[in-house]
A and B are shown apart, each in its own frame.
Chain A
Amino acid sequence: MTELLKAKFSIEYPDFNFDVDLKIPASGITVVFGPSGSGKTTLLRCLAGLEKSGKMELAEQVWEDENIFIPVNRRAIGMVFQDSRLFPHLKVRDNLVYGYKRTPEGSRRLHLDEIVQVLSLENLLEREVHKLSGGEKQRVALGRALLTSPKLLLMDEPLAALDAKRKAEIIPFIKKVKRDLSIPIIYVTHSMSEVLQLVDTMVILKNGKVVKCGPVEKVFSDLQLRDAIGDENSGAVLDTTVLEHDTEFGITRLDFMGQELSVPLQKIPPGKGLRVHIHSKDVSLATEPPQGLTSVLNILETKVQKIGEKTGYSVDIELDAGRPLLATITRKSLSNLNLQPSQTIYAMIKAIRMVHANENV
């Protein structure tokens, strides 16, 4: 049985009610997504013990309930913030070991050498904090949090202050932490690109409430969540495995639940995982497999799962391709195709929009 993080928090603010009930796997990366003011940071503060507000347990260990409250300095948590919050009066090395020194010897599972190597901090150790770049600061902050050997890592928009290039530098480190150190991570962001690259479990918050919580592929293609996720991102997230590379045509062939997809050539060895994002507007539907020639490379056999609200010009169709897949078609086409639930339908995918290395599959 997988271990769980259970939390039930409720705080009343003058202009805002925070009321959250969560049950998520205590493994992998859980992304908390939502607009600003939705309570993402409040959720992290509650989990950290910076607010006293309800109940919480991690892997059957109670951290907070009616009788118990483990204060923040005795919770096995690590926190990383948007502004690194490094201590300016300490050198990088002393920042890194600040929490390590305060972790009981018996609980130390991670050590300086290991973290320095995982996060490539060798050349930074003797530096002054104010001489670090933004990306370096975040790496040191991540290392400092990890050196407390946390059982739960809380990250509050850790990349929000960085430019795209620095973001791309840090993300592999976060994945490495998840893969090599197997610490569950709660990751707050409002960046869809970070979500797609990191997420295993997704929690969507709105006005202090959990709108949806579950595995990413389910949450992402939920028709009810178009609002929360945003039209421009609407679509499906599929985890695939690299089959082989076709260098002649510059194509990488992927396995997705027994069906095949092709994407532009990737630098990932066969057998490794690759996560793809398919925009719902890039999926068209056909009742028969196309006869004769077609320029569309990617055609998946699916079943109609659910037909969205029929208002306006277009309509969303949720398809079952082993995993949920979304298609946005016109209402006119819907009427022409005469779609019925559980009918077999062929999804022709014109473009696979985002492709991110996902080493975890």
Chain B
Amino acid sequence: MNLNSLDLGPVWLTLQLAAVTVVILITIGTPLAWWLAHSRAKFKVAVEAVVALPLVLPPTVLGFYLLILLGPNGWIGGPVQALTGSPLSFTFSGLVFASTLYSLPFVVQPLQSNFESLGKIPLETAASLGASRWDAFFSVIFPQCRRGYLTATVLGFAHTLGEFGVVLMVGGNIPGKTKVISIEIYDRVEVMEFAQAHILSAGLLAFSFLVLLMVYSFNKKLPVHVS
């Protein structure tokens, strides 16, 4: 087995993609989950359904639409190309965009259920003690929702690590730009390099298992705050 022939590029790229995606997901997932938890708007259920779509859609379907959307003539890719000179499809940014959508439910759902169980009372109590909304969120809501945030971060990260179909459709297979671990594994298998495929697969398996193990044992230790 020739370990030297193992290219670590896809590994770094994958970690980078997952990290950027999770940061974006937590940032937009927090207000979205808060709104879903507390809004009484009638179209809320529709938004909930849209957020959950990636859970049930084949990744190729999502990837197909994203490819059209992000391409040079797409609603998003078109304007982006006009602005930057290149479309989003087959770029790292395109992958980030696709992964964000693809992993959205894994971040929004744990946060939403945590916000729901906490209720609005802590926010009102903090407000009665002089805290603005932002202040109240960071000093009262967030510390009581650490469990939800940990779950959301880890699931979002791990799920992004393992995506294949969406990436293949939107990102193609460009070394250093869009070639992530899952695609590298596929490539190695295609050319019968089972040793390299083994190393990458086992690595991903072990990593995912360890991360989930950590979450579950942490979650046992973190106190649950239910009002």
A46 to B13, CA, bound (A): 55
Q: Are A85 and B125 in contact (CB under 8 A)?
A: yes
Asked if B143 and A148 make an inter-chain contact with CB atoms under 8 angstroms apart, the answer reads: no
Name the residue in B125, B129, B140 with the highest tally of chain A Cβ atoms < 10 Å from its Cβ: B129
A11 vs B126: C-alpha distance in the bound complex, in angstroms?
Answer: 24
Cα distance A306–B104 when bound, in Å? 73
Give the chain B neighbours of A85 by CB distance below 8 A: 121-122, 125, 227
Q: What is the bound-complex CA distance between A48 and B140, given in angstroms?
A: 20
Interface string of A85-105 (1 = CB under 8 A from B): 101110000000011001100
Q: Does A77 make an interface contact (CB < 8 A)?
A: yes
Stretch at the interface among B74-82, B130-138, B173-181, B211-219: B130-138
Chain B residues near A89 (CB, 8 Å)?
Answer: 140, 143-144, 223, 225
Please, how many angstroms separate the alpha-carbon atoms of A99 and B128 in the complex? Answer: 8
By beta carbon, the residue of chain B nearest A154 is: B128
Within 8 Å CB of A74, what residues of B?
Answer: 130
Partner of B135, one of A48, A78, A79, A102: A102
Report the minimum CB–CB distance from A64 to chain B (whole Å): 15
Look across to chain A and name the residue whose beta carbon is closest to the beta carbon of B136.
Answer: A73
Residues of A within 8 Å of B227, CB to CB, are 85
Task: List, in ascending order, chain A residues with CB within 8 A of B223's CB.
Answer: 88-89
Q: Mark A38-60, 1 if CB is under 8 A from B, else 0.
A: 00000000001010000000000
Interface hub of B124, B140, B225, B227 (most chain A Cβ within 10 A): B124
Is B55 part of the binding interface, using a Cβ–Cβ cutoff of 8 Å? Answer: no
Q: Considering only CB atoms, which chain A residue lies closest to B125 in the complex?
A: A85
Q: Out of B124, B127, B130, B225, which one reaches A88, CB within 8 Å?
A: B225
**Are A102 and B131 CB-contacts (below 8 A) given A72-B124, A85-B122, A89-B143?**
yes
When the two chains form the complex, which single residue of B124, B129, B143, B225 contacts A50, counting CB atoms closer than 8 Å? Answer: B124
- Closest partner residue, chain A, to B139 (CB atom): A98
Question: Hey, which chain B residues are within 8 Å of A87, CB to CB?
Answer: 122, 125-126, 140, 144
Is A275 at the interface (CB under 8 A from chain B)?
no
Q: Is A277 an interface residue (CB 8 A)?
A: no
Whether the pair B131, A73 counts as a contact (CB closer than 8 A) is: yes
Whether B128 pairs with A79 at a CB distance below 8 angstroms is yes
Check B130 against A148 for contact (C-beta < 8 Å): yes
Cβ contact within 8 Å between A77 and B128: yes
Contact between chains at A102 and B130 (CB < 8 Å): yes
Given contacts A50-B124, A85-B122, A102-B135, contact A144 B129 (CB under 8 A): yes
Give chain B residues whose Cβ lies under 8 Å from the Cβ of A88.
144, 223, 225
| Contact count A vs B, C-beta below 8 Å | 56
The answer for the CA separation of A88 and B129 in the assembled complex, in Å, is: 15
Bound CA–CA A50/B126 (angstroms): 12
Q: Is the CB of B124 within 8 A of A103?
A: no
A73 to B132 Cα, complex, angstroms: 6
B145: min CB distance to chain A, Å: 10
CB neighbours (8 Å) of B144 from chain A are 87-89
Pick the contact of A73 from B121, B127, B139 — CB < 8 Å? B127
Shortest Cβ distance from A73 into B: residue: B127
- A293, B130: Cα distance in complex, Å: 65
Q: Which residues B159-194 have CB closer than 8 A to chain A?
A: none
B128 contacts A98, C-beta separation under 8 Å: no
Q: Give a binary string over A256-275; 1 marks a CB under 8 Å from any B CB, 0 the rest.
A: 00000000000000000000
A148 and B129 within 8 A (CB): yes
Inter-chain contacts of A81 with B (CB < 8 A): 125
Within 8 A of A (CB), among B5-28: none
Docked pose: A78 CA to B139 CA in angstroms: 19
Docked CA distance A351–B140 (Å): 52
- Complex-state Cα separation, A145 to B143, whole angstroms: 21
CA distance A87 to B128 in the complex (A): 13
> A73: which B residues are within 8 A, CB to CB?
126-132, 136
Q: Which listed residue (B125, B131, B139) contacts A79, Cβ 8 A?
A: B125
* Contact indicator B129/A102 (Cβ below 8 Å): yes
Task: With CB as the reference atom, state the residue of chain A lying closest to B226.
Answer: A88
Question: B135 contacts which chain A residues (CB < 8 A)?
Answer: 102
CB contacts (< 8 Å) of B121 on chain A: these are: 85
What residue in chain B is nearest A97 (Cβ atoms)? B129
Q: Which residues of A contact B131 (CB under 8 A)?
A: 73, 98, 102
Question: How many angstroms from the CA of A169 to the CA of B176 in the assembled complex?
Answer: 71
Measured between alpha carbons, how far is A215 from B73 in the docked complex, in Å? 76
Q: Which of A72, A89, A98, A103 has the most CB of B within 10 A?
A: A89
Q: Map CB proximity to B onto A131-156 as digits: 1 under 8 Å, 0 otherwise.
A: 00000000000001100100000000
Sorted from nearest, which 4 A-B pairs have the closest CB atoms?
A99-B129, A102-B130, A79-B128, A89-B143
Residues of A within 8 A of B (CB): 48, 50, 71-74, 77-79, 81, 85, 87-89, 98-99, 102-103, 144-145, 148
List, sorted by A's number, 6 A–B pairs whose CB atoms are closer than 8 Å: A72-B128, A74-B130, A87-B140, A87-B144, A144-B129, A145-B129
